[in-house]
Structure 1
């Protein structure tokens, strides 16, 4: 999946450094740069990017002015990664809901963390996963995925219908594209927690259970639907890896207050 970004930065050296680092992430597509508050507002509204890399100090103005002026034009505003060499703006950045505070000069490791955090948060806003196999791009609703199984450099996405979509991505990459409904329970398995029926921590097994309504079409039912409607019951047992056991217990068996 591709993501769009813009950079609002008035200093050439950090701008070029960030552009150079982002070349290592081909799924992130540049939609332009701006070096002032006014140009930043215009670029944000015309491009509507997924991410804004935003310098705080822009001449006589600040990057926060851009966020304030553009917020009312978005149902879902872009994620913001602040660029600054001053920690004094950190508190204000939190008040504006900034995703990540990236110090200048850019640290490649911290940039990687920021982009991974973005992917995870971006996936929470969606109701489906967009992924490509050998034949096509698939748009699969989260609710239609039962579990995902790793097979070396491949992964099999198992849908409720029993259909298997195989993609050339490791499980750790697909994990970034999924919502909080999904939980890694084994080095080879990630499950949709919406379909958990029971957990056996002694035998390290999670049981998934779902029902699917099926219409069996016959010559008679071409003109009307009748008693040929049936319910398909499916039960799957998924192993819990030893190193994931405590994580599973904490995620599924710990009472959390609101």
Structure 2
């Protein structure tokens, strides 16, 4: 599958570097570049890309680049492209998440960071299976992904905990499941990945997530704060009635 994308950046050198990194991925093709807010909006409306890489802290103020561009797009398009914010520093990450940016990358952009973002992007744009197959010495076990509550890394294997209380050991690393499971699963710790649909509470002061119908507390680490912020945003903006009842304890993170 081919993926069209657009770059919006008022720094020509930065835009050229971003394009050169994308050139390493044969299934992506550039539709065009824009250096101002107005040109960026027009380019997106004209070409309807699937992916937009956008600067929000412009080199030149007159370019007008900002997160406001995302808000304007919501007024005109039925299907929003995935917006990847690419800028200097991490200070705008939470604001970008609140504006429903797909991802947030920090300049100077590296090939490894871009690859991870594109893997997540492709995973979200293609139809994914709803069943996970766990194989162990000729024994095939088929699990509904929606029944997975969380996963815990155990050296080179991963323990998968189910809503019915069962635990299944998969002889795959957590990294494997990070790229296999759908976007409802978010990694919040080196050892833990959690299903957003089973979260009942997030306590930032104690660095733990609570699960529905369970006394289990899942720790999260400060190194995954970006993912935790995303988790909070996804839960609080989800229109599902069940998720709207989730209680979030937003104590300040130490």
- TM-score of the pair, normalised by structure 1: 0.53
Do structure 1's residue 185 and structure 2's residue 134 form an aligned pair? yes
Shift of 1:74: 2.2
Partners in 1 of 2:124 and 2:27 — Cα distance?
16
Q: Does 1:55 align with 2:52?
A: no
Q: 1:246: which partner in 2?
A: 159
Matched, 1:116 2:51: no
Match of 2:24 in 1: 24
Distance in 1 of aligned mates of 2:54 and 2:139: 46
Alpha-carbon deviations, 1:104-135, whole Å to 9, x = none?
11111111111011111223xxxx5xxxxxxx
> Normalization by structure 2: what TM-score?
0.54
1:142-179 deviation digits (Å, cap 9, x = unpaired)? xxxxxxxxxxxxxxxxxxxxxxxxxxxxxxxxxxxx25
Contact 2:6 2:44 in 1 (8 A): yes
**Where in structure 2 are there 5+ consecutive unaligned residues?**
144-155, 167-197, 199-211, 213-241, 243-254
1:206 matched to 2:147? The reply is no
Q: Distance in 2 between matches of 1:46 and 1:36?
A: 15
- For residue 97 of structure 2, what is the aligned residue in structure 1? 94
Q: Name stretches of at least 5 consecutive residues in structure 1 with no aligned partner.
A: 129-177, 189-202, 209-242
- CA distance in 1 between counterparts of 2:82 and 2:17 reads 20
1:107 and 2:56 aligned = no
For 1:99 and 1:187, how far apart are their aligned partners in 2?
Answer: 35
Give aligned pairs, total.
Answer: 154
Correspondence for 2:79 = 76
2-side partners of 1:101 and 1:207: how far apart?
34
Match of 1:139? none
* 1:144-155 equivalence runs, <5 A: none
For residues 62 and 72 of structure 1, what CA distance do their matches in structure 2 show?
17
Does the CA contact (< 8 Å) of 1:184 and 1:244 recur in 2? no
Q: For residues 124-135 of structure 1, what are the structure 2 equivalents within 5 Å?
A: 128=127
Superposed CA RMSD in Å reads: 2.7
CA contact (8 A) 2:2 2:27 kept: yes
d(CA) in 2 for partners of 1:106, 1:207: 39
Partner secondary structure for residue 92 of structure 2: helix
SS in 1 for 2:109: coil
What do the CA deviations read for 1:64-122 (whole angstroms, capped 9, x no partner)? Answer: 12211111222221111101002221121010111111111111111111101111122
Alignment partners' CA distance in 2, 1:16 and 1:104: 13
**Which has the higher mean CA deviation after the structures are superposed, 23-32 or 55-64?**
55-64
The residue number in structure 2 matching 1:46 is 46
Larger radius of gyration: 1
- Following TM superposition, by how much is the alpha carbon of 1:14 offset from its aligned partner in structure 2, in angstroms? 1.3
- Secondary structure of the structure 2 residue equivalent to 1:101: strand
